[in-house]
A and B are shown apart, each in its own frame.
Chain A
Amino acid sequence: MSDTFDVPKALSGTGSWLDDRFHGARGLRVFMRKVFPDHWSFMLGEIALWSFVLLLLTGTFLALFFVPSSAPVVYHGSYAKLDGLTVSQAYQSTLNISFDVRAGLLMREIHHWAADLFMASLTIHMLRVFFTGAYRKPREVNWLIGIGLFTLGLLEGLFGYSLPDDQLSGAGLRIFEGVLQGIPIVGTYAAFFLFGGPFPGDSIIPRLYILHVFLIPGLILALITAHLFIMVHQKHTQMPGLGKTEKNVVGQPFFPYFMAKGGAWFFFIFAALALLATFAQINPIWLYGPYNPVQISSASQPDFYMGILEGSLRVMPAWEWNFLGHTISFSVLIPAAIPFGIIFTGAGLWPFFERWATGDKSWHNINDRPRNAPIRTATGIAAVVFYGVLWAEGANDVIADFLSVPLYTVTWIARVLVFVGPAFGFYVTRRICLGLQRKDAELLEHGLETGVIRQLPNGEFIEVHRPLDEEERAPLEAKKVPALLPATGSEDENGVPAPQSLGALGRARSIANRAFAETVVVETNGHGNGHGNGHEPADEHAAVAAGHAELTSGDGGDGSGTSGTSATESGES
C-alpha cells in the first residue's frame, strides 16, 4: 500500500474535530487494522446480519402502512376479486400494501424473503460453528447467545407471518393455540391470556404486532450487538494452516479489505433478496383469502423454519392420558417440546459435555476440520438427519402427492426414519471421518499421487508420489486428538484406582473420553503404510529417490495431545 494521497481538508478537518472531542484516533487506528481471517464459511453469519438489517429497514416501511387490528371492514381496494368481502383491518391493510402502496409489494416480499434467509443463514452459520468446534473455550457464551438468537428468530418469524390475518397464517395460529392449550395445568390459561379469551378473539393481532415490531427485534438487536462485541473482543477463530497458531490471527485488515468485502456482501445480499422478491412470489395472501376458522386448504405448510414442528405434529401417533379429571395430550406435547428440546438443549449443553468428556480445558482459536472430530461431526449429522426427517414430514402431503405415494406410507416411513436415520447418520459419518483421516495420514506419509508411472530396475511399475509442501501439510498436521483420561478401573503404580474413573459418572466419562479420542494413526516413519502393493516403500524411495524427502509428522506443540498419541484405530487399510 504505497499509493499515498493528500487527504482532503474536509476529511482531515472533520477527523480532527471528532478526535478533539472523542479521542478516537488511536482506537480507530487499531480497529482499522483488526485482522479478519478469511474463509468462505466465515461469511455465513454475516448473511444473517445483513438480512437482519434489511428486515429492520423493510419492516419499518411496512409498519407505516400496516394496521394491526382485527376490526372488520369491507374491502374495496384494487384487488377486484376480493371486492366487497368483509375482512379484518390487518388483512385489508396488507392487501393495500401489496396493491396500492408504491413499492409496498416489493417491500413485503423482501421482508418475507429476508426473514427466511435470516433463519436459513443462522442455521447454516450454527452448523459451521458446531462442525468446526468454534464454540469451544473461550467462545461458549457466544454459542449460547447464538442459540438464543435462533429461538427468538423462530418466534419473530412465526409472529410476523401471522400478522396479515390470512387463511394460511390463521391456521398456523389455530395450531399454535391448540398446542398452547395442551400444556398441562397452565395451558388453558396461557391460551386465554395470550388470545384475550377464546380463539381467535380480537386481541391477538395487536399483541403479536407489538411483540413482532418492538420487543423481539429489540432483544435480537441487543443479542446481535453482544454477539459482535464478544467476537471482536475475543478475536476470530481461524482454520488451520501454515503460520496459524493458537496465539495469532492471520488474515486481512478491516480497513480497507474487510470493509470493502463486507460492504459488497451487504449489497449482494440486498440484490439477491430483491431478485427473489421480484421473481419468486412468496406469501401471496390475496390468494389465501382472509382467515376464517371454518376453512382450511390442503398443502398448508408454514415457513420453512417452523417445518420441524409441523412435521413433529404430523409424525406423532395418537396418545393421550385421562386421569383424575385431567387430560394430558402427548399427541401435542411431545411434538411441541421434544424435537426442539433435544436440538436446543443438546446444542446448549454440547460444549460443556465435550469439555467434560475430553478433559480439555485449553483455548481453541484454531478450528477443527470436521473429520478430525468424528464423534462431534457424527453427532452433528445425526441431529441434521433428525431435523431433516421431521422437516420433510412437515410436507408429507406434498411429498405424497408429488411422488404418488400413499400419505400414510410417507408418515410411516418418517416414523421409522426419525429413529433409524440419526443412528445410521452417526455411524456412517463416523466411518467417513475416520476414512478421511486415513486419507490425510496417507497424504502426509506418501504425498500426492502424481500420475507419473516409473519402471523399477527389476521391471516393476510404480507410481511416483510428490511429497506435500509446507503449506499443504500444515492443515493436515493441525489435527488434535483429545488426551486419554484414566481408564475405568485403571490403577497407578501404588495400586490406587484413578479417582475420576470411579462411579457410574466416571465410567460414563471414561467411555465418552475413549470415543472422543478415537483417531487414525499417522505413521511417522514411512513404513507399514498399507499400500498392499507387495513391495517395501523403501524400495520405492530408493528407486525414485530424487527429492522424495522423508516425511515426519509434525508436533502441534500444545498440551492437548497430537496426532497418533492415542490411537485406537490403525492406519491399515
Chain B
Amino acid sequence: MPDYEVTEERHDLRSTDAERAAFSEYFVEATGASQFVKRPIIRRSLMLATLPLAAIPLVVLRDLGPLPGTSLRHTVWSPGRRLLVYGTNQPITPAEFSAPGGMITIVPDGYQDDLDALAKAAVIIIKFRPGELQIPTRYAGSTVIGTMNWTVDNIVAYSKICTHVGCPAALYEQTTHHILCPCHQSTFDATTGATVIFGPAPRPLPQLPLTTDADGYLVAKSDFTQPVGPSFWERG
C-alpha cells in the first residue's frame, strides 16, 4: 500500500445559534404541550410517586446476608475445647510440645474443616524457655485481654488472624521471637503478649487462655476475651 496522507476538515462541534434556537423553541413548545409545567400538582405527584423506587434496594437486597450482630466478637473457642494440631487434627499435650522455639498452628476441635470458623479461630502456640515470656496483664476496660496466667508450661496461644486485615500471621522467627504477617509485615513480639513492633496492625494478636483437661491435653480456658482479626466500626 502506498503511504499517503489525506487531510480532512474539522467541523465545529457547537451547533449554530439558529439550530440551538430551533431546539429550544421545540423543547419549550413540547414541554408546554405535555402540561408538565402548567400543572404543578400532577408534576409534583408524579415526581413524588417515583421516590419510593429508591427504597427498593433496601428491601430486595436485605437478604444478601445476615446482620453481623455480635458474631465478630466471638469465635468457636469455648471452655474445655481441645486444641488440635493443624494438618494432623490430633490433640496435643504440653509434654509433646516441649522443644522451645517451636510454633504450631492450632485449630479448634470439632471445627477443623469449617473454614468460616477457622477464619476467626485459627491459633498459633509457641513454646518458650523458662523466663523468656514476659506477658503483662493487660486490660481493655475491665476485661482482661492478656496475662501470663493463660499460659501452660511456657506455652502461649495467640490468634493467628492478623489484627490488620485478617491474613494469617504465619511466620515465626525463633531467635527474635517475632511473629510476622507476610501480607503487610505487621510484626508482633511473642514474648510480651504479641505487642506490635512494626507495621500497620493497630493492636496485639489476642491471646487465647490455655489450660489442660483431665487427660492432660491443651484446651481453651475460654473464648478470646476480645474480638480477633481486623478492626470494625462496632468493635470499640
Contacts and interface: CB of A to CB of B under 8 A. Distances in A.
Most B-side CB within 10 Å, residue of A178, A185, A250: A178
B236 interface: yes
B200 to A, nearest CB: 4
Interface stretch (B2-10, B18-26, B144-152): B2-10
Nearest to A174: B166
B198 interface: yes
Nearest to B230: A178
Interface string B195-236: 010111111000000000000000000000000011111111
A379 B200 CA distance: 29
Nearest to B119: A293
A506 B28 CA distance: 38
A192 B118 contact: no
Contacts of A299: 182
A257 B168 CA distance: 56
Contact of B66 (A34, A197, A329): A197
A291 B68 CA distance: 23
A86 B164 CA distance: 29
The secondary-structure label for the interface of chain B is loop
B111 to A, nearest CB: 11
A320 B233 contact: no
A281 B202 CA distance: 37
Given A175-B167, A313-B165, A34 B8 contact: yes
B165 A294 contact: no
Contact of A179 (B13, B120, B165, B168): B165
Interface size bracket, B side: 35 or more
A122 to B, nearest CB: 26
Given A197-B116, A331-B164, A314 B185 contact: yes
Contacts of B184: 310, 313-314
Contact of A196 (B65, B181, B196): B65
B200 A33 contact: no
Contacts of A252: 3-6
Contacts of A184: 233
Contacts of B170: 295-296
A138 B160 CA distance: 55
A365 B10 contact: yes
Interface string A255-275: 011001000000000000000
B171 interface: yes
Given A248-B9, A318-B201, A192 B231 contact: no
Nearest to B197: A408
B107 interface: yes
A199 B65 CA distance: 11
A234 interface: yes
B182 A296 contact: yes
A293 B232 contact: no
B167 A174 contact: yes
Instruction: Give chain A's interface residue range (CB within 8 Å of chain B).
Output: 35 or more
A192 B115 contact: no
B97 interface: no
A235 B8 contact: yes
B10 A256 contact: no
A407 B198 CA distance: 10
Among B168, B181, B229, B230, the one with the most A-chain Cβ atoms within 10 Å of its Cβ is B230
Contacts of A561: none
A325 B10 contact: no
Interface in B164-190: 164-168, 170-171, 181-186
B231 A296 contact: no
Contacts of A193: 61, 64-65
Contact of B115 (A200, A319, A365): A200
Given A171-B167, A197-B116, A200-B115, A35 B8 contact: yes
B71 interface: yes
Contact of A189 (B6, B68, B86, B164): B68
B92 interface: no
A310 to B, nearest CB: 8
A217 B164 CA distance: 32
Contact of B118 (A257, A293, A331, A363): A293
Nearest to A177: B166
Contacts of A314: 184-185, 199-200
Nearest to B171: A298
B233 A185 contact: yes
A164 interface: no
A182 B198 contact: no
A297 interface: yes
Nearest to A1: B2
A38 B7 CA distance: 12
A175 B161 CA distance: 11
Nearest to A261: B1
In this complex, the member of A35, A196, A198, A252 whose beta carbon has the largest number of chain B beta carbons within 10 angstroms is: A198
For A171, A250, A331, the residue with the greatest tally of chain B CB atoms inside 10 Å of its CB is: A331
A167 to B, nearest CB: 11
A377 interface: no
Contacts of B125: none
30 contacts: A35-B8, A138-B13, A174-B166, A175-B183, A178-B167, A178-B230, A184-B233, A191-B68, A193-B65, A197-B116, A198-B119, A200-B119, A203-B64, A248-B7, A248-B8, A249-B8, A250-B7, A250-B8, A257-B1, A292-B118, A293-B168, A296-B183, A314-B200, A320-B202, A320-B203, A326-B235, A327-B235, A332-B165, A332-B230, A397-B182
Given A178-B167, A318-B186, 12 more contacts: A178-B229, A193-B61, A195-B65, A247-B9, A257-B1, A293-B161, A293-B168, A297-B182, A298-B171, A317-B200, A320-B203, A329-B231
